[in-house]
Amino acid sequence: MTSFRNSFLSTIPLVTKNLVIINLICWLASVLYPAIQDVLGLHFFMSDKFKLHQLVTYMFLHDRSSFGHVFFNMFAVVMFGRVLEQAWGPKRFLLFYLITGLGAGLVQQLTWYIDLRPFLQDVSNYLLTGEVGSLGKYWQLKEGVTYPAQEVLRAKEALLDSLLTIGASGAVFGILLGFGMLFPNAPIYILFIPVPVKAKWMVIGYGVIELFAGVSNFSGDNVAHFAHLGGMLFGYFLIVYWKKKGLGNDIFLG
């Protein structure tokens, strides 16, 4: 058993291995010190809690109440990321990981802004005219009651401060996209499906599911589906850019 474990670990390239270690350390740190997530997790850019570094640090944090979140993300990094690192080399793979994670964060910011734009406009209108508009969707406002401006602004800030996203899923979806583009016909075995699925169909399937879930906006769903798509989108454009520049064209098998 020890021999097998050592043999398996020796097949994991340096960057992939270190990404897994860093993510596990950050998960453990957030369990011991929960306030870390509020400092390093990604807040909405209009919140006072937002800091620029969060666009990078958020992707190394995971749900501290469940080991499954970090486990499955890191499992995907090991299974698919190591293949990309072996194909691209450590520097390019690390760059790809960070850019897809950063892209996912930017798309999440855009998603929040689009969702909240009517709310922000209605807050401004309420302060000027007293019209409630869509504010009833976010707050329980009593009819005929005029609320002080400071109270409304505090409630607005509290809502903006409550928006937080964490996790490496955006970078993981970028890795899946990269694997599907480089090795489109590689057979992938998916749980509960008795036959292998080609990597390109798996990637397309994941993309369609995420798009459907994001547009549907199911009640109680707190998964950042558009951030996942953002990771895939940035990964696609980065790979296309590299290919046009002739960087690693020899490894594209599609």
Domain count across the chain: 1
Residue with tokens 């169909």: 201
Per DSSP, the three-state class of 187 is: strand
Confidence tier at 142 by pLDDT (50, 70, 90): low
Query: What would the mean pLDDT of 145-166 be, rounded to a whole number?
Result: 85
What angle in degrees, to the nearest 10, is found between the helix axes of 14-32 and 90-129?
40
Question: What single letter denotes the amino acid at residue 131?
Answer: E
**Regarding predicted confidence, which is higher, 127 or 62?**
62
The residues, any chain, with a CB within 8 Å of residue 40's CB and separated by 6 or more, are 26, 53, 54, 57, 58, 60, 61
> Which of 16, 48, 26, 70 has the alpha carbon at shortest distance from 161?
48
First to last CA, the chain: 37
Model pTM score: 0.86
pLDDT by residue (tens digit) across 12-71? 999 999 999 999 999 999 999 999 999 999 999 999 999 999 999 999 999 999 898 999
The pLDDT of residue 136 is 67
Q: Quick check: 32 and 25 in contact, CB under 8 A?
A: no
Residue 134's alpha-carbon distances to 40, 117, 140, in angstroms, are 31, 11, 11
Beta bridge partners of 43: 164
Q: Which domain range does residue 232 map to? A: 2-251
The CATH number for 111's domain is: 1.20.1540.10
Confidence tier at 217 by pLDDT (50, 70, 90): low
Triad 222, 228, 159: Cα angle to 5° = 35
